[in-house]
Amino acid sequence: MSQFNTLKLIVVTIFIMAGSGNAWAAPPFLAFSDIISGPSSGLGDGKGEGVIVSVWGQNLGDTQETSQIFFEDSNGEVRPAPHTYYWKRADGVAPSGPANLSKSHRMQEIAFSIPRSALGPGRIFTRVNGARSNTLDFTVRPGSIFFISAKGTDSSGGGSFSNSWRTVAYADSRAPNGSTIYILDVDTGDRNSQRAIYWNKTNASSTLDAQFAFIAYPGYQPKVIAQRAVENHTTQGMVVSKLDIYASNYLAVDSNGQPSGKRISNGGTYGIQSTKNGRAIGNRIGDIPGGCASKWNGAINGNARTGDKVSNFKGLGNEIYDYGCNGTDKLHHTIYLSVRSDSGLVVEPWEWGYNYLHGNKAKFGIHQYDQGDGCGDLSGPLRIHNNVIVDQAGSGISVGSTCGWSMDMYIENNVLINVGLAAAWDGINPDTSDGPENGGIGIRDSGLKGTAYIRNNLIYKYTEDGQKLSGRGCLNLTGKGDSVKIAFTNNICFTTKSQPFVGSAFNASNKLDNIFGSNNFWIDLGSSNLIPPAWDSTAYTGNLDMNVSKPMFFMGLESELIDKGASVPLVRDIYGTPRDSVADIGPVEFNNNAGIFPPEAPYNFGID
């Protein structure tokens, strides 16, 4: 697999911010874990006792030192982890997983074994410098644990750590429901594979209470390479965590970035196919090197056309990068979930949080859209929060339906930088974009009936590549429907090109009077006559005193973003800082008790 080892240039940037001498004192925060249940014994690796759980959080410290992580079981017994495999920045460097969430979210990552504990619901928490974190739920249950390694054998191995299996295919064909499979030094698939991991054992289909997991063992970052990298059929409850995934159907592009040559096969292409009650956590997903994904799916993709693959799915902390090419088909997206059920199936809402998307040329960053004869619906609110999206073709976040999604949408605490770029174009003229739906956050209403609560987001430099077509707005409206309501509050909209703050295209001007909100910050460096939208009852246009250096966002002591936000029920900002009682505008909170949160030199570095 030497073709996947590329030379990387490290560029170090040191930020000196006002207030950098203040001590950082924010409490430790646990954001999410890869698995939410498993056995507390039977690991057998000579280090831990129960399943290995990885957690991601903020303000945890870049090394463990005297900090500890604990598990409180169903009887209230609190035990420290019998073994902590690593406690470090979530920088994508082994022994942690491959997703670089330190660069995008200032996250740390901890992997530890659950101690022997009573069956039933329990809680994970940490103590850092004497301060206790919040808790994450974890349920101790019966279940099997298996291992895959290069020294293993499929014919005679039993799947234990000391007698492991050799391939994922063998393991997932034999492991029962609720199993946890750890992958060590084994890559699955290659650049000519139609599929790599294919879980289709119906009697192993799992549940929310006992999921079936494929996870990288600490210290390893196994690769999964194929046109369809992680696929499932007639199964539910699949967890995919910390895998380094490459998925394309074309293996070459031409000089203008158009997909070139033969496809591996005629089917769709995706990195991870979702499942009902499943999770995709902490994975890194991109094209096969030199190739291009272009069909009608996405790096993470799913629907309910032939069975519900989306109910209660969680996509948290994944890094998706350089996915697609200039000529990627307009129906192929970076993240794409839909219902697509002609029977009108109502599914439980899914969730996207803490993902880092950058350099993706597949149209739209996080795209949620439904159409069909009967379509479908979500039974509760759709949450898209705390994501960082940089250099994205098409709108950074897009939600739409042609036939009756009735749920509310919460689009909160996201950082969008240089989004709304040309998609499905010829690589020469950005106005050749096929069906341009650019701008920052897109609402595609031909059948939305709920309210989109868009709040505390940064939309910085949208449609900056010279496109003159479509709405081009910080908030961009498309579709002829007129039922959706949009509550736009505490956002930062920043352009240097005198783009519209609110754009409408494709018969969407009828929705302009459906927008309401307040306390947004509007900046247009390309215009000497800045006019905020009339519906913003408390619009700001003053001194931002902020620094945006992809993908990070900082504010200074003099920023007029501080304490100017309307009251909203957001507990923390995107970097884990507690929100004050008087909120700041945008995704970052200046906390008076903690001061500015500057990077430690040399903390913020880019890998290009």
CB 186 within 8 A of CB 166: yes
pLDDT tens digits along 6-41: 322 222 222 323 222 234 468 999 999 999 999 999
Q: Please report which helix (H) or strand (E) contains residue 244, including its range.
A: strand 244-247
Q: What's residue 543's pLDDT?
A: 81
Number of other residues whose CB lies within 10 A of the CB of residue 161: 18
The one-letter code for the residue type at 522 is W
- Summarize pLDDT for 171-185 with one digit per residue, the tens: 999 999 999 999 999
Higher pLDDT, 435 or 515: 515
Q: Cα–chain-centroid distance for residue 182?
A: 22
Q: What are phi and psi of 400, to 5 degrees?
A: -160, 165
Q: In angstroms, how far is the first alpha carbon of the chain from the final one? A: 20
User: At 4, is the secondary structure helix, strand, or coil?
Assistant: helix
Q: In this predicted model, what pLDDT tens digit does every residue of 497-543 receive, in sequence order? A: 989 999 998 789 999 999 999 999 999 998 888 899 999 999 999 88
Relative to beta strand 351-353, strand 314-316 is: parallel
Tell me what the mean pLDDT of segment 121-134 comes to: 97
- Residue 444 — φ and ψ, nearest 5°? -105, 85
Residue pair 59/67 in contact (Cβ under 8 Å)? The answer is no
Amino acid 18: pLDDT: 27
Residue 601 burial (CB count, 10 A):
12
Q: What is 540-555 written as a DSSP string?
A: B-S---EEEETTEEEE
Does 3.10.150.10 match the CATH number of domain 26-140? no
Spatial CB neighbours of 93, under 8 Å, sequence gap ≥ 6: none
Region 358-375 average pLDDT = 92
pLDDT for the residue 552: 92
What is the average per-residue pLDDT within 81-108? 98
Give pLDDT, residue 209.
Answer: 98
| Mean predicted confidence (pLDDT) in 547-564 | 90
Q: How far is residue 550's CA from residue 494's CA, in Å, rounded to a whole number?
A: 14
Return the minimum-mean-pLDDT range out of 235-244, 285-294, 305-314, 585-594. 585-594
Residue 605 clears pLDDT 70, i.e. is over it? no
Q: Which of 3-7, 223-227, 557-561 has the highest mean pLDDT?
A: 223-227
What pLDDT, on the 0 to 100 scale, is given for residue 343? 84
Q: In what order do the strands lie in the sheet with 52-58?
A: 29-33, 52-58, 108-113, 84-89
Q: How many CA atoms lie within 13 A of 137 on its CB side?
A: 6
Position 234 confidence tier, pLDDT thresholds 50, 70, 90: very high
Give pLDDT tens digits for 187-205. Answer: 999 999 999 999 999 999 9
**Least-confidence region, from 273-282, 531-540, 575-584, 598-607:** 598-607
pLDDT above 70 (res 598): no
Q: In the chain, what percentage of residues exceed pLDDT 70?
A: 93
The tokens 């291992």 sit on which residue?
A: 147
What is the mean predicted confidence (pLDDT) over 576-583? 91
- Integer Cα distance of 377 and 381 in angstroms: 11
* pLDDT score at 403: 86
Task: Report, as an integer, the average pLDDT of 418-430.
Answer: 97
Q: For all residues of the chain together, what is the average pLDDT?
A: 92
Of 321-335, 460-474, 588-602, the range with the lowest mean pLDDT is: 588-602
Q: Give mean pLDDT, residues 349-377.
A: 94
pLDDT tens digits for range 468-481: 988 899 999 999 99
Which residues is 58 bridged to in the sheet? 29
Q: What is the pLDDT of residues 288-319, one digit of tens each?
A: 999 999 989 999 999 999 899 999 999 999 99
The residues with which 224 forms a beta bridge, in sequence order, are: 188, 245
Amino acid at 127: R
Name residue, tokens 């874990």.
33
> Rounded to an integer, what distance in angstroms lies between the CA atom of residue 46 and that of residue 49?
8
> pLDDT category, 592, cuts 50, 70, 90?
low
Residue 204 CB-half CA count within 13 A: 21
Contact 381/345 with Cβ under 8 angstroms? no
Classified as helix, coil or strand, 343 is coil
Confidence (pLDDT) at 22: 34
> What does the pLDDT look like over 377-406, one tens digit per residue?
999 999 999 999 999 999 999 999 998 899
Contacts of 44 (CB under 8 A, 6+ apart): 145, 160, 161, 162
Question: Which token pair is 252?
Answer: 């070459």
Quote the pLDDT of residue 528: 83
Give the tens place of pLDDT for each residue, 315-340.
Answer: 999 999 999 999 999 999 999 999 99
The pLDDT score that the predictor gives to residue 603 is 27
The helix/strand/coil state of 38 is: strand
Residue 364's alpha-carbon distances to 232, 398, 441, 448, in angstroms, are 24, 7, 10, 18
CA distance 547 to 494: 12
